[in-house]
Structure 1
């Protein structure tokens, strides 16, 4: 690779970084939540304007969609193609008083960080890629490889339209996202300055349990004679898991892929701070006493089942001695490849029926499948070499991102497409929380990383698929 030209592009980023940050601030000032269509529209228009300035041919799919998907492409000097996935919607900002400056969309710079709802998830992840293309255009005049972008507006609300596209028009959708490899929405750089490459996306199965044992609440003196919904729900939930933390539902683990030797090496090398997590969250020991590689395998390779919330009776006003007639709970299972959320739901429903809890209703709220890219994929070498031009610390291989996402939609139509994640977030970016942020240094390095990646892959002899 022409290292002199690469340094010129890096210098361009340094010289124009203030303008790049200003653009990031501007796009973060649009409140693009699902219940704010005007903010989503403003975000789309800003992105399409930037794409046009960079020579990216942009389209909205469909033109009258609500909200539509943005798709763009730009030709490069080689026949190789990298595909980028991002999203332009954000989660609600929550109570503004919880933000240090009380203004979630102000995009304030403080302590060498930019604070704004959506800056980490996912506008920073998208714009670092656009600013890389800006530098490539300015110095090289052209792109070393073909690039495609698919940026949706429903990632935070189940990606319904993208899923519909993939199922109703699979050939067309396959053409939209076809390429040699896909770079997913984001990643992080840890507190030691090590960039992460993520090789998967978790799935999930979100369930709402409910039970009704009478028509109205009654006085607590009837507690020995009238069935209470709270106890009924507690017993049903308790039947799902054993004291060893294993889920007791038959078939729950059947589809879990075995851990390979390459996986175990990646887990062994992964720098998981066991004691740091204990301190930051405030607990004394991990479940079942797991530690070391066994703990990391449980964290990354095993599915979960968690009770996220319980509701019964009324504790929000003056306490009353009652037998509640209704109770509900939210249960989330985080899945690993190749589990199917539909199968998980039906397995739980059958199990509860078999255990005598047919009166407990289970609503299947949403679900996504997990995907994995083999950690030995040849594209890993390209990403590691590119990172070495920017970071002075080695790349960290992360088996999968911990959160769920719609990568399974892409994998369903392009089963051989390597999907990997990288980006500018940090461990305290507080994604989905208050004071969401990116470090300016991490953002600048992410721009340079994409530049090096595109240049290196354009000249590499490595065949990915």
Structure 2
């Protein structure tokens, strides 16, 4: 059961809290656009002030080489665990503007949904944690656990300065667990705790043949065509069933536990419904795995783009002299992005077609992360969801990548709990982003309950 006192507080303060959140959402804190630099500072200052009003201490705005980080804490629960809560106050650009039904920085409530850029990703969810702390302090005068907030302003541009900040402030950020609310639920009314994310390794392959495009009548059949070369090379990466053919690619993949496979099966995922939704005749992937297992717990190699030759109207009878492709791999524990890139390069060298030169460029990298799903902090999060939503919590992995999560795991060596309240239908990163107020209301109560649940553990019990 969640606390009746907290429940009453959130009910009494609902309109005040929504009014405050709207103020936060009015700030156009777009980290990727230089013309919004002042808005980024304004967003950090608004958040810092709201944290002070909530009762948090040692509130400060720390400069980085880019946009500032907001820090706050409350550390008066001796012997109790310390939670590091991470989130971000920056948002995505709003284009195309004409597709928004209301102005992106003029928050509007329609059908019990709050529409604004950042409503779900991630201002709304960060705000909920601040208000949960406020509620606990107002009702008890203290928190059940120690807490530190680390809210950055560069998540939407890849957190380029956060690793350095965390390294420099390692002692100040010391904690027992990290909590992040920047993910989603399994579906409406179906809470989920995400305990793992895939990593990422990206490359570009460039193929160079003759000094320029050649006439296909004069040279066809006698000189290598760069497009044929790239197609041949790309075809060597996977077999017809999708199993990756790169030597050693799977050698460090952590196998799924039987309990995990049973938990995924219990979700009752409808693969037929997915086929209809995507309008495809069949799903595809590694034999021996379900769709959820493939997208959550197995590595991938995908061609994201191929370029070269003539693609205009009509036909042009040439042998293209240049072609290329972009490839990304999603990685799972315990794969290392640097090792995977080295194996990809070795594969390209071993399968390089005759008559061309091939170069490989490295792009984005991010390590995978996993906190064992039976970890006490993960299970406590599930129990807090269940206390409010009154349905079993799903324990899931995410198919995507959040590089900073892996950085936290690596630099601070702490278990990471991803407990989000957004829905995949809420248009984050797209026009008409919104947040269902049902999950705002319930989420506040879940977070308050979770901090209380964590007080039942010693710091030693929460070690990874």
Question: SS where residue 329 of structure 2 aligns?
Answer: strand
Is 1:15 equivalent to 2:16 in the alignment?
A: no
Query: TM-score of the superposition, structure 2-length normalised?
Result: 0.89
Partners of 1:182 and 1:419 within 8 A in 2:
yes
- What do the CA deviations read for 1:90-144 (whole angstroms, capped 9, x no partner)? 333332233344x333333222212233322222221111121122222222222
Task: State the match for 1:254 in structure 2.
Answer: 251
Partners of 2:207 and 2:357 within 8 A in 1:
yes
1:183 positional shift:
1.0
Is 1:264 equivalent to 2:265 in the alignment?
A: no
Question: SS where residue 423 of structure 1 aligns?
Answer: coil
Provide closer, same or farther for how the CA distance between residues 94 and 341 of structure 1 changes in structure 2, counting only shifts above 3 A.
farther
Task: State the match for 1:144 in structure 2.
Answer: 144
Question: SS where residue 332 of structure 1 aligns?
Answer: strand
Distance 2:32 2:139 in 1: 38
- What do the CA deviations read for 1:414-433 (whole angstroms, capped 9, x no partner)? 33x22111121013123323
More displaced 10-residue stretch of structure 1: 300-309 or 260-269? 260-269
Is 1:97 equivalent to 2:98 in the alignment?
A: yes
Structure 2 residue runs of 5 or longer lacking an equivalent are none
1:265 positional shift:
2.7
- What do the CA deviations read for 1:328-374 (whole angstroms, capped 9, x no partner)? 32211111111111111111111111112582222111100001001
Task: State the match for 1:410 in structure 2.
Answer: 408
1:178 positional shift:
2.3
Partners of 1:115 and 1:438 within 8 A in 2:
yes
Question: SS where residue 330 of structure 2 aligns?
Answer: strand
CA RMSD of aligned residues (A): 2.6
More displaced 10-residue stretch of structure 1: 70-79 or 45-54? 70-79
Task: State the match for 1:113 in structure 2.
Answer: 113
Distance 1:434 1:407 in 2: 26
Provide closer, same or farther for how the CA distance between residues 214 and 113 of structure 1 changes in structure 2, counting only shifts above 3 A.
farther
Task: State the match for 1:383 in structure 2.
Answer: 381
Distance 2:100 2:229 in 1: 40
1:453 positional shift:
0.9
Partners of 1:205 and 1:344 within 8 A in 2:
yes
Partners of 2:44 and 2:61 within 8 A in 1:
no
Is 1:344 equivalent to 2:340 in the alignment?
A: yes
More displaced 10-residue stretch of structure 1: 378-387 or 253-262? 378-387
Distance 2:360 2:39 in 1: 35
Partners of 1:40 and 1:67 within 8 A in 2:
yes
- Aligned match of 1:452 in 439, 449, 453? 449
Distance 1:136 1:16 in 2: 13
1:379 positional shift:
1.9
Structure 1 residue runs of 5 or longer lacking an equivalent are none
- Aligned match of 2:197 in 188, 198, 201? 201
Question: SS where residue 239 of structure 2 aligns?
Answer: coil
Partners of 1:119 and 1:436 within 8 A in 2:
yes
Q: How many residues align?
A: 454
